[in-house]
Amino acid sequence: MRKPLIVGNWKMYKTITEAEDYVAQIKDRLPAKQVAEVELAVPTLFLQSLARLTAASPLKIVAENCFYQDEGAFTGETSPLALRELGIKHVILGHSERRRLFFESDQVVNQKVHAALSAGLCPILCVDETMKRLAEHGQVAWVVNQVITGLAGVSEDQLAHIVIAYEPSWAIGTGKAAASPVEANEGCYLIRQTVACLYGEAAANRVRILYGGSVNQANLPQLIGRPDIDGVLIGRASLDPATFLTMVDQVVAASGGEASA
């Protein structure tokens, strides 16, 4: 059985003081790691301090991005190797905001996946789908292509260290237009089928696939009950600690575990 994974994505919100205060509020109130994994993706600037604060907590701190080289003349970029040395395990790669605002192509995302894996990190590979592309080419071609390109050259052993997130950009950041549970599961199912074509059924059944896009307390219970959705990537609704904890409890309850303290 695939263990549920809940990842909050803070994007470029919060100051370091707000971040530390938030983490102090939730770090001892999370389910044991064997029930569900809870992670927070935070700005690079906060990684070191929050990783220290959570060293003894089940809460894991995640990077929102990294570069595709370990070192060099790349002003402003973050080395995957340096992230690993900080004790960071997961890194979000290919988020739709990176693709759209920073022009990251599928090939660049794939380079980042390889650099992260080589540094000992575990990528959370986001695959996107926009309304326009959806209308023009159909969901299938677009999502499948991003999965195939994102995983190009990744071995079956390496796949075990990757989480994939289905994040239709038409559902991100709107606060209300989440994909319906059926649409969200379809996207995740499509990704799993693509992984099955590339690596076989057994590998596809092991890989965790998250849904992200305006997930909130109201729609989460229906999403998490779907067969191909193994967890959620939560943006806006993760910014409030009480709301985030409630959502963690919802996932745990849906998976038959115990709620947080």
Active-site residue list: 95, 167
Out of 167, 186, 228, 249, which residue is the one contacting ligand PEP (CB under 6 A)?
167
- Hey, CA dihedral for 60, 64, 69, 70, is it positive or negative? negative
Closest-CB residue for ligand PEP?
235
Regarding 9 and contact with ligand PEP (CB under 6 A), the answer is yes
The values of phi and psi at residue 92, to 5°, are -75, 130
In this complex, which beta carbon is closest to ligand PEP, that of residue 104 or of residue 167? 167
In whole angstroms, what is the distance from residue 160 CA to residue 36 CA?
A: 17
Min dist CB 181 to ligand PEP, Å, is: 15
Regarding 47 and contact with ligand PEP (CB under 6 A), the answer is no
Which residues, 6+ apart, have CB-to-CB distance to 96 below 8 Å?
A: 126, 128, 130, 167, 169, 172
Which range binds ligand PEP by CB under 6 A, 53-61, 134-142, 143-151, 210-218?
A: 210-218
Beta bridge partners of 232: 6, 211
Out of 43, 80, 235, 255, which residue is the one contacting ligand PEP (CB under 6 A)?
235
Regarding 215 and contact with ligand PEP (CB under 6 A), the answer is yes
Min dist CB 113 to ligand PEP, Å, is: 17
Regarding 221 and contact with ligand PEP (CB under 6 A), the answer is no
In whole angstroms, what is the distance from residue 126 CA to residue 146 CA?
A: 9
208: its two tokens: 């965790």
In angstroms, what CA-CA distances link 7 with 77, 103, 155, 185, 196?
23, 24, 25, 18, 24
Q: Contact positions toward ligand PEP, by CB under 6 A?
A: 9, 167, 172-173, 212-215, 233-237
